[in-house]
Amino acid sequence: MRIVTWNETKMAEIERRLVSSIWGARFKEWVSIPAIGRSGGLVVIWNTRSVSVLESLVGLFSVSIKIKGMNGIDWWLTGVYGPNGYRERVSFWEELASLYGLCGPRWCIGGDFNVVRFVAEKSNGGRQTRSMLDFNNFIRETNLCDPALQNAEFTWSNNREIVIWCRLDRFLFSTGWEDVFSDARQLALTRVTSDHCPVLLDTNIVKWGPAPFRFENMWLEHPSFKENFKIWREEESFQGWEGFKFMRKLRSLKQKIKVWSKEVFGEVGSEKKEVENLIKQLDTTEIRQGLNDNERSQREAARVRLDQIVFLDEIRWRQRAKFDWAKVGDSNTSFFIELLMEGEKEASYRNWKWAVA
């Protein structure tokens, strides 16, 4: 089950083309709040194949959807984008309090609240404000759980020379919701272009076994792949009946492609983690002691590289999506077979010409 909340869209209208650029899945729906001018805006997107939404509610500062659980237990998810001004925040807390009464015992709420709970959630300290007291009162009166952010202290940076970090983004949930999703944990993902860290609420950790060999679309992005493929195809010949030779050649090609992919693309997942860890490490250094010009340049280069890796990773995961694999993955498996068969035909034709001569 995957649901995305996107805060501060700054758009008056959310079109399907825009949503498709964020989420490649063909089967998707969304509910949104339009931005006012160049500020605000919120959209909640979900995959209709894995998430069944029974109803939705749109407020001034929130979007809520009622989800039909796979175990027959319905629950509510609310995405929020909190205002900056104190007067608007009063209306914000009133809206959320009304939602608490409506959404019942199984409720999860998350997003950018635009306010911290405690002084320690700001890198520059300060004093406790009225807005912080109101936030804590809301959590206490609704009896919501505020889980720790497991891998970070803050989620937002002002991106200025005198840097300030705050924890503005979080998920809160009721004890009834926690009973359904008992393994939920909250993680901050790497900041790339935004001044906010995306926050992941992970409710289900799945460990997969070794993956079978599959043709990766991202290989086609490399200009030398097809030429290399032809070379690898002709490097070895096998003796025996045609079906045996064909299967042995497939096995040989598979190994060569794996080696080439590792050398050219590297371990995409491992490199992604390394680059993300570098960005997080530099962000942490900035929080503690600031960054010099060289470290800022290093972080910017890491973000550019992460963009490239994410592009390749996006191609890979779109291909592997279950509903898309039959259309995209199988066609590329066919492409792999066709390349091999084309080589076999060429080899047979050359042998025929030689025999005739």
Q: Residue 1: its pLDDT value, please?
A: 64
CATH number corresponding to 3-202: 3.60.10.10
Pull the structure tokens for residue 224.
């030398």
Rounded (to 5) percent helix, strand, coil in the chain: 50, 20, 35
- Tokens 């206490």 belong to which residue? 140
List pLDDT tens digits, range 259-277: 877 777 666 667 788 888 8
Kindly give, in sequence order, each residue whose CB lies less than 8 Å from that of residue 159, ignoring residues fewer than 6 positions away.
195
List pLDDT tens digits, range 59-86: 999 999 999 987 788 999 999 999 988 8
Q: The pTM is what?
A: 0.62
User: Which of these, 166, 71, 187, 63, lies nearest to 119 by C-alpha position?
Assistant: 166
List pLDDT tens digits, range 194-243: 889 999 998 865 454 555 666 777 777 777 788 888 888 777 777 777 77
- Whether the Cβ atoms of residue 131 and residue 89 lie closer than 8 Å to each other: yes
The pairing of strands 62-68 and 52-58 is: antiparallel
Most confident region among 109-118, 151-160, 338-347 by mean pLDDT: 109-118
Indicate the residue type of 323. Answer: F
Least confident of 24-38, 103-117, 132-146: 24-38
Q: How far is CA 129 from CA 86, 98, 118, 126, 163, in A?
A: 10, 23, 9, 9, 21
- Whether the Cβ atoms of residue 63 and residue 31 lie closer than 8 Å to each other: yes
